[in-house]
Amino acid sequence: MTANDVSSTAELTGTEAHIEATEKYAAHNYHPLPVVLAEGDGAWVIDVDGKRYLDCLAGYSALNFGHSNERLIAVAREQLGHLTLTSRAFFNDKLSTFARALTRLTGKDMILPMNSGAEAVETAIKVSRKWGYEVKGVPAGQATIITMEGNFHGRTTTIVSFSDDEVATSGYAPFTTGFRSVKYGDIASIAAAIDDTTVAVLFEPIQGEGGVVMPPEGFLTDLRALCTERNVLMVADEIQSGLARSGKTFACDHEDVVPDIYVMGKALGGGIYPVSAIAANHDVMDVITPGSHGSTFGGNPLAAAIGTEVVAMLEEGTFQARSTEIGDLLEAGFRPLVGRGLSDVRVRGAWAGIDIDPTLMSGRQMSEALMARGILAKDTHGSTVRFAPPLVASDEDIAGLVAAVAEILTDVPRA
């Protein structure tokens, strides 16, 4: 039976029907929890059977401002009635405003807009290499970029070339050369890896996919100094950690560090539309010339309008403050569970990673148990679960999350 054998107008009803159709007709590149979501408002979502769930993943931080945020929806609706796409073959009246706003937020001279986070990382790689050749003077074809063990920057062919995740890399060789991997947060290893061919150090200020893993205190400061001393670009992937998720506008702000290139995505589109960008000063960005890089949808009017409103919301500071408050609640709630089912807890703003005693359950089992209690979260790396609730979640929402985790750990039979 093929897709053509099924009526294109046939309606699907109920969780099982949707899951069966998705599994049959969509590639199996994800392993979702068995819930089919249909509506969202604020920190909550509703499935096709009418059950409500607290969303503690928030689209991997794409939904920092919550589902169906009224301000963002209003801007999107307004722009939909005017102009959605021109391509960059022409100017449009929204990109100018967005570019000015995002440079103001980042403190950089220029932005280069794209769509997905992976595209933004690819853009940063290309800019770094070209800067290395044209500005630093690296011999043609020899540019190298230092990356971190445990990284997650996307799943394009180039990006998985410097991943150490076997699932992401198995079966996709040959890989792109020009990358050197070092231990995350180890400034000595980075210093040893830098040579005359090094053009950039690409890193996440907080490794989200790894389970909200943070480098040692002072690492960002030391890395900034090292990159400056050795004439190497400091490239911060703030796709998940930035835009208020960590309690600051950017996670680098926790050490008052400014990278040479900011890489942004996810929340930049407000959970409504894919918007990404890099930001840098003229001495870096001016290596980009007409025709050397681009995207049909990058910088389109709809994306730019939404992104401009996202910047306006961030400039108010309320989301950063709320992220910090949520982080305090998560820390206070999860920390006492260490030794009582949890082996470690890491919290930075409204972002938490908990490591469960693997003799009790896996991260997947914890996620399934939470789902049964009306809470959606995502496991990673065996016994670790990440929590990233929308920044509009209430104190009661966070208390409910903590109570559910404690209850699940208490109910697990001990050997």
Q: Tell me: the pLDDT tens digits for 366-408? A: 999 999 999 999 999 889 999 999 999 999 999 999 999 999 9
pLDDT value, residue 193: 98
Kindly write down the DSSP assignment for every residue of 299-364, as one continuous string. T-HHHHHHHHHHHHHHHT-HHHHHHHHHHHHHHHHHGGGBTTTEEEEEESSS-EEEEE-TTT--HH
Q: CB–CB of 102/306 below 8 Å?
A: no
CA atoms within 13 A of residue 369's CA, in its CB half-sphere: 19
What is the rounded CA–CA span in Å between residue 285 and residue 260? 10
Distance CA(265)–CA(316), nearest Å, equals: 19
Rounded to the nearest 10°, the torsion over CA 306, 312, 313, 316 is 180
Q: Is the dihedral of CA 316, 224, 141, 289 positive or negative?
A: positive
Return the amino acid letter for 113: P
Q: For the domain made up of 70-315, give the CATH fold.
A: Aspartate Aminotransferase; domain 2 (3.40.640)
* Residue spans in the chain of domains classed CATH 3.40.640.10: 70-315
Instruction: Please list, residue by residue across 140-172, b when 16 or more beta carbons sit within 10 angstroms of its beta carbon and e when fewer do.
Output: eeebbbbbbbbbbbbebebbbbbbeeeeeeeee
Q: Which two tokens stand for residue 206?
A: 């907080």
Please list the residue range(s) of the chain that carry CATH number 3.90.1150.10: 3-61+318-411
Residue 335 CA: distances (Å) to CA of 66, 86, 217: 26, 51, 19
CA nearest to 305, candidates 10, 85, 31, 105:
85
Concatenated DSSP letters for 65-128? T-BT-HHHHHHHHHHHTT-S---TTS--TTHHHHHHHHHHHHT-SEEEEESSHHHHHHHHHHHH
What value, to the nearest 5°, has the Cα angle with vertex 210 and ends 43 and 204?
Answer: 90
Digits of tens for pLDDT over the chain (415 positions)?
Answer: 444 444 555 688 899 999 999 999 999 999 999 999 999 999 999 999 999 999 999 999 999 999 999 999 999 999 999 999 999 999 999 999 999 999 999 999 999 999 999 999 999 999 999 999 999 999 999 999 999 999 999 999 999 999 999 999 999 999 999 999 999 999 999 999 999 999 999 999 999 999 999 999 999 999 999 999 999 999 999 999 999 999 999 999 999 999 999 999 999 999 999 999 999 999 999 999 999 999 999 999 999 999 999 999 999 999 999 999 999 999 999 999 999 999 999 999 999 999 999 999 999 999 999 999 999 999 998 899 999 999 999 999 999 999 999 999 998 876 6
- The β-bridge partners of 53 are 45
Active site residues: 152, 237, 266
Nearest to 135 by CA among 20, 287, 15, 9: 287
Architecture of domain 3-61+318-411: Alpha-Beta Complex (3.90)
Calculate the alpha carbon distances from 10 to 4, 6, 18, 198 in Å: 12, 8, 12, 56
Cα dist. 231→71, 212, 225, 248 in Å?
42, 29, 10, 27
Give the model's pLDDT for residue 13.
Answer: 87
Decide if 236 contacts 190 (C-beta within 8 A): no
Match 């820390």 to its residue by tokens: 331
The sheet with strand 352-356 has its strands ordered as: 342-347, 352-356, 384-387, 378-380
Coil/strand/helix, residue 146 = strand
DSSP 194-253: --TTEEEEEE-SSBTTTTSB-PPTTHHHHHHHHHHHHT-EEEEE-TTTTTTTTSSSSGGG
Whole-number Å distance between alpha carbons of 387 and 389 = 6
Report whether 191 contacts 228 (CB < 8 A): no
Query: C-alpha 31: how far from its chain's center?
Result: 19
